[in-house]
């Protein structure tokens, strides 16, 4: 989801009071959905994420026992997504526009998509949760997806082939839906989500990826063993241009097929529902903070380089199968949704080739945070607070020497060497 090491750009202190989650407020939200509710008998709040694992928001689960007008009682749970209450971080997240993007997607895009799916009899194909309340750019209340049996796969395990296919098939449908609705004027995603988080904040972030690549080169020398000096040198050299290279790749070409991207479509943001044989039958994705309008290959690069199991992640033929499944669903969905234009497998393949470098950068950036253990969370949180206080862009590179990270990055780099993306 939100990798803590990614956002440490400068912020100014300011004091903002956070709103408490209280019964009267929740009751006003719940009764809009369910007018039969008379009273909230009990309310238990629990944090949804470990400190330090989700940077861009503070997610709290609110478990309630509700008394209905007929005096019977039911339990109900919702998730409150709010700006972090730490004043420095709250200010920074507000300025980055992350929360605004999330609220904007929940308010202006997802309901239109849902109406369209409902009308075409495809209601079961939705991949998002419904927002119950949207409070400006600071607080969002959504259905609790776990109450509907959608669960994460442990991020250390990675997704198996079946889960990967289910994920990209749903992603393809989402992309197709956005393109179809945009062309019919039902949503205005291209204008509203013109730039990615990195593009919007490029001056504040500075040479972020350059620093990440430098740290990565150091970690190769420290943790990869003998025989990798050439690769370390490559990443050192590449660190001088990588930020610009990435900005160039991210520059949208409006003559190509574009769609609304989730921007953070990975194992931390994909919740699966399984059938009785433990086969995935549907997904929910909750975080849209990084949504932007661009080439779908960017969502695929993010997914393919962060989410499959280690034995799939560096295997070109397995990746090919996942992409093929994506394209098949995309083409079919565009047709189903009445989009006049289509896309070919060659076009997607060429976009994937063009964006490989973004994929590698995503792997380094995301996996170094993803493979951290729960006991590292408190450290990551302190690291962020300290960096915010001292206003320095620092890279928390502890994750880069974890054995699992080293194992997976060796595979990803190996694949990139074969493809000619890395040249040593
Ligand atoms: C998150 O929100 C809860 C509920 O409002 C609050 O008690 C908690 O202090 C917040 N935590 C952070 C890190 O902002
Ligand atoms: C779509 O249909 C479901 C019932 O199948 C309904 O609960 C939901 O409110 C509908 N959504 C929209 C946006 O119309
Ligand atoms: C990298 O590729 C070579 C052959 O191209 C292979 O011998 C080696 O085992 C691979 N290493 C990893 C870590 O996959």
Whether 417 is in the pocket of ligand 3, judged by its Cβ within 6 Å, is: no
Residue 123 and residue 258 in one domain = yes
- Mean pLDDT rounded to a whole number for the chain: 89
CA nearest ligand 3 atom 2, residue? 414
Give the angle subtended at the CA of 133 by the CAs of 132 and 136, to the nearest 5°.
155
> What count of other Cβ atoms lies within 10 Å of the Cβ of residue 245?
15
* Residue 5 within any structural domain of the chain: yes
Final residue in a domain of this structure, among 71, 93, 115: 93
* 141 assigned to some structural domain: no
Cβ of 310 less than 6 Å from ligand 3: no
Residue corresponding to tokens 């440490």: 8
Which residue reads 């994506």 in tokens?
Answer: 326
Residue whose CA is at the smallest distance from ligand 2 atom 12: 115
Supply the angle between the helices 242-250 and 356-370 in degrees, to the nearest 10.
110
Measure 115 CA to ligand 2 centroid, in angstroms.
7
- 115 lies in the same domain as 239: yes
Pocket of ligand 2 (CB under 6 A): 111, 114-115, 118, 123
DSSP code for 109: I
Q: Which two tokens stand for residue 173?
A: 């449908």
- Per-residue pLDDT reduced to its tens digit, 186-223: 999 999 999 998 898 888 878 889 999 999 999 999 99
Residue 27 lies in a domain: yes
Distance 83 CA to ligand 1 centre (A): 9
Residue 131 Cα, ligand 2 centroid: separation in angstroms? 12
Q: Are 182 and 339 in contact (CB under 8 A)?
A: no
Residue 358 CA to residue 19 CA, distance in Å, equals: 38
Minimum CA distance residue for ligand 1 atom 3: 60
Note the ligand closest to the C-alpha atom of 132. 2
Residues 243, 248: Cα–Cα separation, whole Å = 9
Token pair for 374 = 């729960």
Sequence length of the chain is 424
My answer on whether 168 and 183 are in the same domain is yes
Name the closest-CA residue to atom 10, ligand 1.
85
User: Please, which residues bridge with residue 46 across strands?
Assistant: 61
Residue 252 buriedness (CB in 10 A; 0-12 / 13-18 / 19+): middle
Query: Which tens digit of pLDDT belongs to each residue from 34-65?
Result: 899 999 999 999 999 876 667 778 899 999 99
Number of structural domains (the chain) is: 2
Task: Find tokens 């994705």 and name the residue.
Answer: 285
Residue 424, in any domain of the structure: no
pTM for the full predicted model: 0.92
The residue-averaged pLDDT of 103-128 equals: 95
Of 315 and 90, the structure prediction assigns the larger pLDDT to 315
Q: Is 315 in the pocket of ligand 3 (CB under 6 A)?
A: no
Does 394 have pLDDT greater than 90? Answer: no
Q: CA triplet 224, 228, 233: central angle to 5 degrees?
A: 115
Within this chain, do residues 299 and 266 fall inside the same structural domain, yes or no?
Answer: yes
For residue 121, the ligand closest to its alpha carbon is 2
Q: How many CB atoms lie within 10 A of CB 37?
A: 18
- Could you identify the atom of ligand 1 that is nearest to the CA of residue 51? 13
Task: Name the domain boundary from 46, 68, 93.
Answer: 93
Of all ligands present, the nearest one to the C-alpha of 422 is: 3
Interval between CA 223 and ligand 1 midpoint (Å): 37
Q: In degrees to the nearest 10, what's the CA dihedral of 375, 5, 55, 158?
A: -60
In a domain, 343, yes or no: yes
CA-CA distance, 203 to 197, in Å (whole number)? 11
Contacts of residue 228, defined as CB under 8 A and 6 or more positions apart, other chains included, come to 220, 221
Q: Which ligand is closest to the CA of 314, given by its number?
A: 3
For tokens 């007929």, the residue is 70
* Assigned domain for 81 exists: yes
Kindly give the distance from the C-alpha atom of residue 320 to the centroid of ligand 3, in angstroms, as a whole number: 18
Q: State whether the beta carbon of 411 lies less than 6 angstroms from ligand 3.
A: yes
Residue at 355 is within a domain: yes
Pocket of ligand 1 (CB under 6 A): 20-21, 45, 58, 60, 82, 84-86
33 or 309, which is more confident = 309
Report the range of poorest mean pLDDT among 50-54, 67-71, 296-300.
50-54
Q: Are residue 77 and residue 108 in the same domain, yes or no? A: no
Confidence bin at 19 (pLDDT 50/70/90): low
Query: Tokens 């995603």 label which residue?
Result: 189
**Protein residue closest via CA to atom 1 of ligand 3:** 414
Q: Which H helix or E strand runs over 139?
A: strand 139-143
Looking from the CA of residue 111, the nearest atom of ligand 2 is 13
| Ligand 3 probe mutation, 414, 419, 424, most atoms within 8 A of CB | 414
Residue 291 confidence class, pLDDT cut points 50, 70, 90: very high
Q: Is 225 left (phi over 0), alpha (psi -120 to 50) or beta?
A: left
- Do residue 72 and residue 111 come from a single domain? no
Same domain flag for 168 and 300: yes
- Quick one: which of 348, 404, 331 has its CA closest to 179? 331
Taking the CA of 409 as reference, the closest ligand is 3
- CATH number of the domain within which 357 lies: 3.90.1200
**Given a cut of 50, is residue 242 above it in pLDDT?**
yes
Q: Are residues 80 and 195 in the same domain?
A: no
Q: Which atom of ligand 2 is nearest to the CA of 112?
A: 13
Record the tokens describing residue 385, joined without a space.
Answer: 């607070």
Dist. CA 309–CA 159, nearest whole Å: 5
Give the model's pLDDT for residue 204: 80
Q: How confident is the model at residue 85 (pLDDT cuts 50, 70, 90)?
A: confident
**Same domain membership, residue 210 and residue 62:** no
Task: Label residue 5 by pLDDT band (50, 70, 90).
Answer: very low
- In this structure, are residues 55 and 7 in contact, taking their beta carbons and an 8 Å threshold? yes
- The pLDDT of residue 16 is 38
Report the alpha-carbon distance of residue 122 to residue 116 in Å, rounded. 8
Q: Is residue 39, in this structure, part of any structural domain at all?
A: yes
Q: Are residues 89 and 112 in the same domain?
A: no
Residue 13 has pLDDT above 70, yes or no: no
How remote is the CA of residue 62 from the centroid of ligand 1, in Å? Answer: 12
Considering every ligand atom, which ligand is closest to the CA of 415? 3
CA distance 73 to 39: 10
Domain that holds residue 39: 1-93
Residue 14: what pLDDT?
30
Distance 58 CA to ligand 1 centre (A): 6
382, 363, 357: which is closest to 302 by C-alpha?
Answer: 363
Q: Do both 175 and 46 map to the same domain? A: no
The encoded tokens of residue 351 equal 């976009």
| Same domain, yes or no: 371 and 225 | yes
């Amino acid at each position: 989801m939100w990798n803590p090491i990614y956002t440490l750009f400068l912020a100014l202190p300011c004091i903002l009071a956070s709103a408490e989650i209280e019964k009267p407020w929740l009751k006003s939200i719940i009764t809009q959905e369910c007018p039969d509710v008379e009273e909230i008998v009990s309310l238990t709040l629990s944090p949804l994420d470990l400190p330090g694992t989700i940077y861009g928001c503070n997610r709290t689960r609110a478990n309630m026992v509700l008394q209905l007008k007929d005096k019977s009682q039911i339990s109900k749970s919702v998730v409150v997504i709010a700006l972090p209450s730490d004043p420095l971080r709250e200010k920074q997240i507000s300025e980055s526009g992350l929360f605004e993007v999330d609220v904007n997607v929940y308010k202006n895009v997802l309901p239109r998509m849902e109406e369209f799916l409902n009308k075409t009899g495809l209601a079961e194909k939705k991949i998002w949760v419904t927002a119950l309340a949207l409070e400006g750019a600071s607080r969002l209340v959504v259905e609790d997806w776990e109450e509907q049996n959608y669960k994460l796969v442990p991020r250390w395990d990675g997704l198996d082939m079946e889960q990967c296919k289910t994920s990209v098939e749903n992603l393809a449908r989402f992309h197709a839906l956005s393109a179809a609705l945009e062309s019919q004027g039902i949503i205005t995603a291209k204008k509203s989500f013109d730039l990615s988080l990195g593009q919007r904040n490029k001056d504040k972030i500075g040479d972020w990826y350059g620093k990440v690549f430098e740290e990565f080169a150091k970690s190769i020398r420290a943790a990869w063993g003998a025989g990798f000096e050439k690769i370390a040198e490559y990443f050192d050299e590449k660190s001088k241009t990588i930020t610009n290279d990435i900005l160039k790749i991210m520059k949208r070409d409006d003559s190509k097929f574009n769609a609304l991207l989730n921007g953070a479509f990975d194992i931390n943001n994909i919740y699966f529902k399984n059938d009785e044989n433990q086969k995935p039958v549907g997904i929910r994705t909750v975080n849209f903070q990084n949504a932007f309008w661009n080439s779908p290959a960017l969502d695929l690069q993010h997914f393919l380089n962060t989410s499959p199991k280690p034995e799939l992640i560096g295997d070109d033929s397995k990746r090919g199968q996942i992409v093929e499944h994506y394209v098949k669903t995309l083409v079919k969905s565009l047709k189903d949704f009445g989009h006049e234009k289509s896309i070919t497998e060659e076009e997607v393949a060429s976009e994937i080739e063009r964006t490989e470098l973004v994929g590698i950068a995503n792997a380094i950036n995301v996996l170094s945070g993803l493979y951290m253990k729960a006991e590292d969370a408190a450290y990551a949180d302190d690291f962020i607070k300290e960096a915010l206080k001292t206003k320095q862009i620092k890279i928390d590179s502890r994750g880069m020497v974890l054995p699992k990270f080293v194992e997976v990055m060796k595979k990803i780099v190996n694949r990139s060497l074969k493809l000619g993306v890395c040249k040593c």
